[in-house]
Amino acid sequence: MEMEEVAAPGCERAIVAREPSVGYLGIVVVHSTARGPAIGGVRWKRYRDESEALDDAMRLARGMTCKNALAGLPLGGGKSIIVQTGPPSDERVLPFHARAIEALAGAYVGGVDVGTSPETMRLLRRDTRYVHGLPGGAGDPSPLTARGVAAAMRVAVSRRWPGATLSGKRVMIQGCGAVGSALAELARAEGASVLVSDVDEPRARRVAARVDGVVVAPADALLAACDVLAPCALGGVLDDATVRGLRAAVIVGAANNQLAAARHGDELHARGVLYVPDFVANAGGVINGCVELLGWTREQVDRSVDAIAVTVGDVLDRAERTGVPPSRVAEAMVSERLGLPSA
Ligand code: NAI
């Protein structure tokens, strides 16, 4: 197998590995180990080319650094990618990806992500010690991610409409997967009227039926008339078009990298929309992994997920006090926790 260090501005290290005999192309990015080993999922999907995959890995790795730092975890941020070049889930590539991870000697620790499962981690574990999320390990992170997002939503709603709760608020959830569907139930249980949307329409209808909700067509989800928008499908959804057209007053959801660019956070703020940075709200899943990664008890996990609400409160307090958008405040708090000068 061929392995090469490549330039990855802003990241500690990045390697690209190849094994042409099985069509393997892999990338491992270590964004930061300032607070501990760089934790981040192993993503397995198709990309247009190597450079698109490297950009994605760098962006996602940075997001993990931010998430772990603001959750107060002694962990850094990283990401790895298996670029799908042949048929899906061709397991012959896994020993090579495991060797690429092992070559970083623990600076990066992989976990479950888009396209991988606990079973994938079990297979990788044959050739590297540095993966977690195996069958029988910490278990599905989604319920805790949803719990953390719901907690963040409660805080944001009570700030946007002083003293308000979710009761009577219209909450639009984009994506009815593992997190979105659990969030729909939590919001409903607190008296919200729930709107849901999914490109898998039968799935959206099933979730709507469970929460007495309304199904919105995928093309209309981001601009729907609602109080709270919860992006729980994909990243990059807050772009020029949506920021200008959206009708929600609060945005808080599980998807990573919701802002298409940093300036969209500024624009939301200028428009009076309260945006809770994704990496603050969606840390429940990575906190769940601490059972395996750090040997935490379930009580420690619960306490740490409950602390997401406190961190959201801190971010919003500082934003209110300084007039700086919450997205910038959260970034500044990450820099402080990493001991870096503020950007
Ligand atoms: P999932 O794969 O179970 O669900 C995603 C859902 O979004 C699917 O039902 C899919 O059909 C739907 N979807 C895709 N494109 C859509 C579109 N354009 N409009 C409407 N729906 C669309 O994923 P999961 O686990 O629920 O995660 C949701 C998001 O939160 C993802 O972006 C994930 O990366 C992020 N996240 C998840 C965590 C977890 O613990 N599962 C932790 C932190 C972030």
Q: Which atom of ligand 1 is nearest to the CA of 285?
A: 40
Q: Tell me how far apart the alpha carbons of residues 255 and 275 are, in angstroms, rounded to a whole number.
A: 13
How does DSSP classify residue 105? T
Contact yes or no for 185/173 (Cβ under 8 A)? no
- Average pLDDT on 120-134 reads 97
Contact yes or no for 232/258 (Cβ under 8 A)? no
Binning pLDDT at 50, 70 and 90, where does residue 147 land?
A: very high
Pocket mutation for ligand 1, best pick of 116, 149, 205, 232 (most atoms within 8 Å of C-beta): 232
Q: Which atom of ligand 1 is nearest to the CA of 113?
A: 34
State the catalytic residue, choosing from 45, 67, 79, 169: 79
Ligand 1 geometric centre to CA of 128 (Å): 28
Question: What pLDDT is stored for residue 329 in this prediction?
Answer: 98
**Percent of the chain clearing pLDDT 70 (strictly above):** 99
Ligand 1 geometric centre to CA of 278 (Å): 13
Amino acid identity, position 326: P
- With tokens 């093309």, the residue in question is 219
- Average pLDDT on 73-101 reads 96
Amino acid identity, position 255: A
Q: Which atom of ligand 1 is nearest to the CA of 235?
A: 32
What's the mean per-residue pLDDT of the chain? 96
How does DSSP classify residue 194? E
Nearest CA to ligand 1 atom 3: 177
**Residue-wise pLDDT tens digits, 32-42:** 999 999 999 99
Q: Tell me how far apart the alpha carbons of residues 194 and 184 are, in angstroms, rounded to a whole number.
A: 7
Amino acid identity, position 201: E
Contact yes or no for 248/258 (Cβ under 8 A)? no
Question: What pLDDT is stored for residue 88 in this prediction?
Answer: 87
Question: What pLDDT is stored for residue 249 in this prediction?
Answer: 98
Amino acid identity, position 150: A
Nearest CA to ligand 1 atom 32: 255
Which comes out higher in pLDDT, residue 343 or 56? 56
Question: What pLDDT is stored for residue 342 in this prediction?
Answer: 64
The two structure tokens encoding residue 240: 């020029």
Contact yes or no for 283/70 (Cβ under 8 A)? yes
Ligand 1 geometric centre to CA of 33 (Å): 27
Q: Tell me how far apart the alpha carbons of residues 49 and 63 are, in angstroms, rounded to a whole number.
A: 22
Binning pLDDT at 50, 70 and 90, where does residue 341 land?
A: confident
Question: What pLDDT is stored for residue 22 in this prediction?
Answer: 96
Nearest CA to ligand 1 atom 20: 198
Q: pTM for the whole thing? A: 0.94
CA diameter of the chain: 62
CA distances from residue 64 to 2, 79, 108, 189, 206 in whole angstroms, order as listed = 27, 8, 12, 30, 32
Side-chain-side CA neighbours of 259 within 13 Å: the count stands at 21
**Residue-wise pLDDT tens digits, 190-231:** 999 999 999 999 999 999 999 999 999 999 999 999 999 999
Question: What pLDDT is stored for residue 139 in this prediction?
Answer: 87
Question: What pLDDT is stored for residue 202 in this prediction?
Answer: 98
Nearest CA to ligand 1 atom 14: 233
Ligand 1 residue neighbourhood (C-beta within 6 Å): 141-142, 145, 174-180, 197-200, 203, 218, 221, 232-234, 254-256, 282, 285
**Percent of the chain clearing pLDDT 90 (strictly above):** 96
Q: Tell me how far apart the alpha carbons of residues 116 and 119 are, in angstroms, rounded to a whole number.
A: 8
Q: Tell me how far apart the alpha carbons of residues 332 and 280 are, in angstroms, rounded to a whole number.
A: 13
Ligand 1 geometric centre to CA of 105 (Å): 31
pLDDT at 343 over 60: no
- Average pLDDT on 55-63 reads 95
The two structure tokens encoding residue 70: 């603001």
- 79: annotated active-site residue: yes
Nearest CA to ligand 1 atom 29: 255
Contact yes or no for 281/253 (Cβ under 8 A)? yes
Ligand 1 geometric centre to CA of 176 (Å): 7
Ligand 1 geometric centre to CA of 203 (Å): 12
Binning pLDDT at 50, 70 and 90, where does residue 319 land?
A: very high
